[in-house]
Amino acid sequence: MTFKSSLKFAKSLIFPKAEKNSSARRSIFGAIICIGLSIVPLVVVMSVSNGLIDGMTERIIGLSSSHIQAFVSSKSSDVVSAEKFIESSAKYSQKIEGIKNSYPQVSVSALVAGKSERKGGEIRAIERDIFERNKDFKKLFTVCSGSVEDFINGNGKDAIVGQKLAADLNLSVGDTFRVITTKIINGKISPKLTSFKIKAIITSGYQELDELWIFLPIEVAYASLSLTNASYSIMFETEDANSSDVVRIQHEIQQTAGRYANVYRWDQIHTAEFENFSSTKVMLIFIMMLIVLVASINISSAIVMLVMERQKEIAILKSIGAAPSGITLSFLITGLACGTGGVILGLPLGLLCSVNANGLIKMLEMIVNWFAKIGYFFKGIPVNEVSQIKLMDPAYYLQEIPLDIPFKQLFFVVAATLVLSLIVSLIPSAKAGKEKPLDILRKN
């Protein structure tokens, strides 16, 4: 029995000219639908998790530490004044090849007092023009209200506040808020209050960052705040954060800075976050692959039913000289065709859902909240007193999910699905090849 003959027999198994009401045929198409439906959530999970992780990673690196960050000791002479700190940070770009820009920063944890609330925040004292010079600041920060230009061109106690922090403190552009830091006088810790005026409210699209950050001009921080517990650092921007050249630049910065600074790459600073992202993604994909595995078992069941229905044809083919391997191959091709059909059905649907993920999530939230309101109504709970259910709360995720189709991973999913289809078809196909024609004809 040639390969061409096996292929023709497999075609007749899937698309028979007679037996239109075959239960085995319905099982085959049911298996195709099951595999297709199992691939849809897998593709969506991979695309959404990739977009979320890449979006959060980009913001954490670009807005928090940049590609390389040097933490400078407060005992260093380079940080005695804002002018000296800015001047010392600029020398690295001139001395070390590969550094595009350097940004000095003074960080202070402080208590922030708004109109009626108080909350802890992280003061980030930076150069005024960083929102223009730094490509990540320019790209990833969105101005909600006010103007960043007013901050850049200002000369007073100006500030830019994260959207979530501004909302928590009930602040808007033009409002004045107070920053409470501590200072030591005669060996005693005393509070120091400094007022600042909001020039702009911005968002990174990631509330975990927006609820902490307050940006102040570095010269104003030196003149107005107590820097007793301040942290001094320089953020370095390179051509590519993932380039192997970053390691070389890190070593050269460390040699130039000497013993008064510790220099780290972005992957060293944020190791815990990225490991958490990676482990979560792997777990989600593993669970989705288990769903595909369970769905592929339907192919085995369909092949078993197909073998039982086509016993007469198997007996006739073997009687005229068909080899057992040819019969087995026909049923294996049938199982592979089921897997291919599932991929053809599920992959486009999964990609379509991924492209419209933000809209689908909002629609699902509306449906969930609608059913929740009905439940609260029957329980006698006032609907107005119940908070909205968020399937992907922006307090923990990005406000908008970036689209990121992982083509390499999708190729692996397609290959894995086809291999699974062959594996689950192997046993019933082998049994079909071992059928004895005399026994079959005697029974029928």
CA dihedral 398, 400, 404, 409 (to 10 degrees): 50
Whether 350 contacts 44, CB under 8 Å? yes
Between 226-235, 278-287, 328-337, 374-383, the lowest mean confidence (pLDDT) is in 374-383
Q: How far is CA 111 from CA 71, 79, 183, 214, 414, in A?
A: 23, 23, 13, 11, 53
Higher pLDDT, 382 or 415: 415
Work out whether strand 188-203 and strand 158-162 pair parallel, antiparallel, or are unpaired. Answer: parallel
What's the mean pLDDT in 328-352?
89
How far is the C-alpha of 365 from the C-alpha of 439, rounded, in Å?
60
Euclidean distance between the first and the last CA atom of the chain, given in angstroms as a whole number: 24
DSSP state for residue 300 in the 8-state scheme: H
Is the pLDDT assigned to residue 18 strictly greater than 70?
A: no
Q: How far apart are CA 85 and CA 416, in angstroms?
A: 55
CA distance 437 to 316: 7
Q: Residue 337: which of 32, 22, 25 has the closest Cα?
A: 32
Give me the numbers of helices (H) and strands (E) for the chain, helices first please. 17, 10
The predicted pLDDT at position 21 comes to 63
299-316: pLDDT as tens digits? 888 888 888 877 777 777
* Structure token pair of residue 202: 């911005």
Task: Work out the mean pLDDT of the chain and round it to a whole number.
Answer: 84
Mean pLDDT on 66-81: 90
Q: Which of 196-200, 365-369, 398-402 has the lowest mean pLDDT?
A: 398-402
3-state helix, strand, coil in the chain (%, to 5): 60, 20, 20
Residue 20 confidence (pLDDT) = 54
Provide the β-strand partners of residue 111.
120, 180
Phi and psi dihedrals of 126, rounded to 5? -135, 175
Phi, psi (degrees; rounded to nearest 5) at 113: -110, 120
